[in-house]
Structure 1
Amino acid sequence: MSLSVNISKERFTSQNYKTTPKTNGNLCKPVIIDIRKTFFGWFSHERQSASRDIELLVETFQQLGFPDYHLVSDQNSHLETDPLYSIENLKKKLQSIASDEGTTTDSELFLCVVLAFGDSGYFYLPNDPISKGKSRDKKPPRFYTSDLLSHFKGDLCPSLILKPKIFLIQTCDLNLEQINNANFVRSPSEPTPQLHRTPIEADLLMYHSLVSGGYTDKMKKERKESLKNIIDHVGDKNGNSACQFVYTLYKEVKALIDRAEEFEWTDLILRVNNSLMEFIEKKHYESDDRKKPWNIEPRIPVCVDQLTKKLVLKTR
């Protein structure tokens, strides 16, 4: 196979992905796509855990030796030139990131985190109203995760060939709410959309969570005392709660770093899923008010793994 980039013999023959910081360039410059508010018709839904999620992610990156990161936020998504204004704009932004030497050529690991509303296989764009008196389409555009991954495949981003490409996707369910038992009989829910096909290529891993931040936000308000040890450290001093997936990721990375000089990515996934399984099985997400069950129960994150080598992260 002829490649458009030079790959060292060491990198090609190694049994593990290279994760030792280089003298020139970063080990990894993570990309965060942070979509906090999405409009559906005239009304917006906001991810209440967004601020705390970013704080914990940045702390997690720093623990792993990733001091710098690239943030794509929806702060100015109402502007036609903003990356999150449309699907086309976001695709152009991803192309720009894929060609950025600091993020790809000079890094040995690519990491992209998406925080947004959505479901299996896609996330929603902000969909800001055109003006105060005019709305855009009632349903916001869906950006499929397969399109996200495709921009960093070997054919479009040769600088990442034989480098691990990790995608952490947290999509909160906009339909999550607590309902009264008296109204428990509801019309059948819409069928779960089919998972958009993930490209099958070496060196890709997608870890997709649908454990919405809303569970923790509501639980913290109504059940703080009974679940003090579980919840208090999820939030910050201002009372902002993190999404349970982001907090669990942060907690397990810290535990692994405290225990050893290096750890495998597989160990991290297993530990995160075990913690979230306990969160779900013991119904820690439920409030004290049994008359208000959740209409949607949390699910364990799904991992699609096409890595061909062990990904070992050195912590010291």
Structure 2
Amino acid sequence: MGCQFYDTVEDVWVATERYTADGLFLLMPEQVHQCPQLEAALQRCLEQRLYCQDAEITLRLPVALLAQDAQFGTVGRMTHLTLHHTPRSLAILGEEPLIRRLQQNWLGELRHTSMGELLQRVLLSIIYSHERVARVLVERLQVLRMALKTAMGNTELRQIVALNRDLGELVIALRETGLILRNALRATPGESPVYPLLDAALREQRRIEDGVNLIHERYLAVTNAYNGIVQNNAHTVMKVMTVWLALLMMPIAFIMPWHMMTPLPLEHWHYLWFGLLAYVFGVTLLFARWARKHGFFSM
């Protein structure tokens, strides 16, 4: 996929060899060196995420996507989209899958659309990408929480931890987006036509960030609670196993002396074994009642 230019007359995307600073362009990182007008601004933006000069503004914003992982299934993935906006042009730089999605789904109807409106549309699409990914991750978390109740292994718990990590990365990316937009808003004159667009995008970013952050905190708390339950269950199982081991060892411990080659009291008593068995099981029963009274058998 080469550099794409939107022809407003024919209402189609056409391939072009270079950026002309007039119209809507879609580029990939390897094509930047062919655009000397963009290369300097994009290089500065790569270092500091934001570059403003006169009426030009360049933003490098994180975008959330869904990806398939062999171990964890559907997970969130972060990439970046760079926007270079001037009053007459908008250049969008990103990975090829992201550019294709942008071209097919995000930009929508382009005819009779100004560069400012396109900038706002792309900014909102970037912000909403985090909400879309968060919604999918939450659906997976709900399914995994139900599966965790009957799970016999750690697969579901590992996937939940991975999804919580992805939700945390979404929150970080949204905060980074908000910081970039706030700095861009400060650097933009109030009379600029881009100012209200950035302000609207910033308000929407705050709303999405609050929602995703709330979801992340909630599911992180739930995961911590599940981890605590698992640890308590493991402790309880070990406690019960220890008590049963002690109960099973008591008869052996009491009978062992009578198997030694040592003279013992009542060794030749006719009722020795009956008395010994009664003594052993009596002591074992008393110990079992004491353990039960103190909750050692409760799961």
Q: TM-score, normalised by structure 1?
A: 0.29
User: Which structure is higher in helix share?
Assistant: 2
Structure scoring higher RCO (CA < 8 A, sep ≥ 6) equals: 1
Q: TM-score, normalised by structure 2?
A: 0.30
Structure with max Cα Rg: 2
